[in-house]
Structure formats: C-alpha cells, structure tokens
Chains A and B, each alone.
Chain A
Amino acid sequence: GAGVSQSPSNKVTEKGKDVELRCDPISGHTALYWYRQSLGQGLEFLIYFQGNSAPDKSGLPSDRFSAERTGGSVSTLTIQRTQQEDSAVYLCASSIRGLRGVPYEQYFGPGTRLTVT
C-alpha cells in the first residue's frame, strides 16, 4: 500500500511569502503529526491531529504557522510571511492509535525541504 506522501518535495520561497505544505497520510491512520528538522537538529514536534479531536498545536513556533486536516485525511501546514529561520525539512507522519493510548510507531513521509531566501 502507499506510504505517507508529501508535496512539494522542495520549496524555495522569498522571505515574506506564504507557503503551503501538503501531507497525505496512510489510509486508515487516525493520528497525523507535523515535525520540523532544522540543520543539525532533531525532530521538533509542531502539531498533532487525532481523529475528530481538537489538534494539539502546542509545538507551533509562532502564530505564522497553522495547520488543518480535512476529512480526517489530508493535512496542510501553512506558514505565513516566511522568515529565513523557517528554512528546514518539514516532515509529516501518521500512525494508528493503540488501545489505552499505547504509542504506536509513526510512518514518515519523505519531507518537504523549505528554503527561505
């Protein structure tokens, strides 16, 4: 079956412009995560969606960042008025949710490399 897909794979944008990054999770996975990996850093949690519950946005670094997930499937991460420090690889992951909240492994997409010039 298809894995997690992300588009675009690369995005170069000018400072101040808005960008949209897309994630298609694995069918049937109710949990969807966005992470950011800056150069030389680990994976930084941004936002989490689980089913129809309100998302956990606690990792979003500023109000320029927002995300939505339509129909419990596809998700879009939007960065408004991009800054150079937003340059990073943005990774999306999906997983199933175990009984009693047991964590399950996440399946990652290939990421979108964002470069803000």
Chain B
Amino acid sequence: DQQVKQNSPSLSVQEGRISILNCDYTNSMFDYFLWYKKYPAEGPTFLISISSIKDKNEDGRFTVFLNKSAKHLSLHIVPSQPGDSAVYFCAASTSGTYKYIFGTGTRLKVLA
C-alpha cells in the first residue's frame, strides 16, 4: 500500500507559467512533508518543506500548500524556468520517527 502518491508521472509547462505538482498521502500520522528535486545522474536535493501546523510555506518561486483534511499537498513553481526541468519527489514523515516515505516522482518539463 503506497502511503505517498504522486499520480502524475509527468507534466509539461511553458516557460513563465505556473507549474503545479501534486501529492496525496493516506497516513494521517504524517506531520512533516518535503519536496525534493532530482536531476539525471544526481541525488535528490531538498527544495522546500512544510509542517502540518501550517498550510502554506513559501520560498522564492516555490510554494508548498498543505490541505490536511484532503491529505493533499502541492508544489507551485512560479514562474517556471527551463532549469526547473527535473523529477520532483514528495516525501512525508512523522515527528518522533525517522522514516521518510517517498512518492514515485513527477517528471516536470519546462518548455522554452
């Protein structure tokens, strides 16, 4: 049973427009969520996180929204740039534990 799901394997967006990447989870014990970006032949790099006490966290062009009642989070990238083209993973964890459960990733392609 996959506890963290990214149902869109790929997404294409025009440069300058908004990219919205979605993630759903099933475990209500998760209270900390992270987004990672991965380029080919590199390890994932941390992008942004959000705690369940918030519903929004913003860092420059990146904003993560958390809807606890829907067990859904999304990553917004505005404006999208060609360098944002990568695979994006969401991950979830529970305070007091150390395990991170990752989704299967969404491949974002930003078209110039």
Query: Which B-chain residue is minimally distant from A45 (CB atoms)?
Result: B99
Contact pick for A93, options B43, B99, B103, CB 8 Å: B43
* Number of CB contacts from chain A to chain B under 8 A: 63
Bound-state Cα–Cα, A35 to B91, Å: 13
Q: CB within 8 Å of B: which of A80-117?
A: 91, 93, 97, 100-103, 105-111
Q: CB within 8 Å of A: which of B57-105?
A: 89, 91, 93-105
With A43-B89, A110-B41 as known contacts, state yes or no: A101 contacts B98, CB within 8 Å.
Answer: yes
- Interface residues as binary, B18-51 with A (CB distance below 8 Å gives 1, 0 otherwise): 0000000000000010101000011111100100
* A18 is an interface residue with CB less than 8 A from chain B: no
Tell me which residues across on chain B come within 8 A of A91, comparing CB atoms. Answer: 43-44
Most buried by A among B41, B96, B100, B102: B100
Chain B contact residue count (CB 8 A cutoff): 27
Query: Which B-chain residue is minimally distant from A98 (CB atoms)?
Result: B95
Give the distance to chain A from B66, nearest Cβ to Cβ, in Å: 15
Bound-state Cα–Cα, A56 to B99, Å: 10
With A41-B104, A42-B89 as known contacts, state yes or no: A101 contacts B49, CB within 8 Å.
Answer: no
Whether A100 contacts B96 by the Cβ 8 Å rule is: yes
Tell me which residues across on chain B come within 8 A of A79, comparing CB atoms. Answer: none
* A31 is an interface residue with CB less than 8 A from chain B: yes
Whether A110 contacts B43 by the Cβ 8 Å rule is: yes
With A42-B104, A102-B32 as known contacts, state yes or no: A111 contacts B99, CB within 8 Å.
Answer: no
Tell me which residues across on chain A come within 8 A of B4, comparing CB atoms. Answer: 42
Give me the interface of A with B, judged by CB distance under 8 Å: 4, 31, 33, 35, 40-43, 45, 48, 50, 56, 91, 93, 97, 100-103, 105-111
